[in-house]
Amino acid sequence: MQRGEARRRGAALVAILMGVLLVSGCGAGTEENAGPATGGDGAAAAGAGEPDGPAEEGDASPDLRVDQRAIIYTGSMRVQVPDVEQAARKAIALTTTAGGFVGSDQRRSAAGNATAELTLRVPAAKFATVVEQVAELGKRQRQEISTEDVTEAVIDLDARITTQRARVENARRLLGEAQSISDLVSLENELARREADLASLEAKQRRLADLTALSSVIVSLVGPDAATEDDASAFGFVAGLEGGWKVFLFSWTVLLTVLGAILPWLLLLGVPLGALVWLLRRRPRPALVAPPADGTGRGPTDPAGGGVAPPTVNPPPQAPGARSAP
């Protein structure tokens, strides 16, 4: 009986120990499995508990997305159109419809060689659209588009303006607390210098804002007879021949122009002078009379013709011969 009870007690103790071991193993496994989850929950809680920190940093940092960057667009293009005046009016209408304006307008009318040079200020968001619409007015011969990213410059300028405004306010506060004349004078000079620096920075900010808000494009509209830029910059024998022919025609044009200018004077002065010279040359000349040979006023008579013979010329006297010696 005692042995049976001892066995039953031992089996019960073994069962209890096995249960304890099983419970311990399950508890450890549960803790191990829950450990990462708890850590994740803690991290999530920590992230949920600190939303203000990252959000504030995100608000303080600039937005550098492509659509939020400050970009200056500039361009130039040359378009050959059938009618320069009509194309210029259409280009101006396209610019004003897009919300821009015309910066300058220079035109030269010469029939087929007419030209118009327009400086168009267009909002940056509609810059590409206006450029394509203007190019469709005729034949695009040249186009140059350039961009300049000034985002960092704008951010730096904004920070400098904020700092400079704080310095100006600090100088004004110190000026109100000045106790002596020397302090007052020095603070006034310092305040004036800081305000001048602030005004310069604000002027640069307005200039950058204007350049980024309104882009500039120079449009050259030329007539159908205008020479292309390739022809103007060509070299070689053919280009030299064409240039020489143009110079030859231009020289003849200048010569005919000068001749047309002096022709009325030739008619008014040249014709009377020519007639006078002709009359003087047609006037008969008097006959030449031979001088008389003797004192009577008449020369000797020519026996053959019965007229007055030309005067005779006496031979020169002979020199006396040399005397002989005695």
Where exactly are the structural domains of the chain?
66-151+215-222, 152-210, 234-271
CATH of domain 66-151+215-222: 3.30.70
Higher pLDDT: 224 or 220? It is 220
Contact between residue 122 and residue 91 where contact means Cβ atoms under 8 Å apart: no
Contacts of 137 (CB under 8 A, 6+ apart): 79, 81, 87, 90, 91, 221
C-alpha distance from residue 317 to each of 138, 314, 320 (Å): 108, 9, 9
Contact residues for 164 (Cβ-Cβ < 8 A; gap 6+): 194, 197, 198, 201
Question: What is the number of other CB atoms lying within 10 angstroms of the CB of residue 62?
Answer: 13
Categorize the per-residue pLDDT at 15 as very low, low, confident or very high, splitting at 50, 70 and 90.
low
**Residue of 294, 297, 157, 138 lying closest to 219 (CA atoms):** 138
Q: Which pLDDT belongs to residue 189?
A: 92
Q: How are beta strands 71-80 and 214-222 bridged, if at all? A: parallel
Cα 179 → chain centroid: 57
Q: How confident is the model at residue 162 (pLDDT cuts 50, 70, 90)?
A: very high
Contact 62, 155 (CB under 8 A): yes
What average pLDDT score do residues 9-25 get? 53
| pLDDT reported for residue 241 | 80
Q: What share of the chain is helix, strand, coil (3-state, %, to 5)?
A: 60, 15, 25
**Cα-only R_g, the chain:** 57
In degrees, rounded to 5, the angle at the alpha carbon of residue 115 between the alpha carbons of residues 110 and 121 is 150
d(CA 91, CA 112): 19
For residues 233 and 197, what is the distance between their CA atoms, to the nearest angstrom? 48
Asked if residue 86 lies in contact with residue 107, where contact means CB atoms within 8 angstroms, the answer is: no
pLDDT tens digits for 221-277? Answer: 988 877 665 555 556 677 778 778 888 888 888 888 988 888 888 788 777 888 888
What percentage of the chain carries pLDDT values higher than 70? 62
pLDDT the model gives residue 192: 93
Least Cα distance to 107 among 95, 99, 98, 119 occurs for 119
d(C-alpha 257, C-alpha 296), whole Å: 70
Across the range 45-71, mean pLDDT stands at 49
Measured CA to CA, the distance from residue 53 to residue 200 in angstroms comes to 35
Contact 77, 220 (CB under 8 A): yes
Element (H, E) at 34: helix 2-49
Per-residue tokens: 174: 């110190």
Q: What is the pLDDT of residue 57?
A: 40
The answer to whether the beta carbons of residues 174 and 187 sit under 8 Å apart is yes
SS3 label, residue 107: strand
82 CB contacts (<8 Å, ≥6 apart)?
Answer: 138, 223, 224
Q: Are 167 and 201 in contact (CB under 8 A)?
A: no
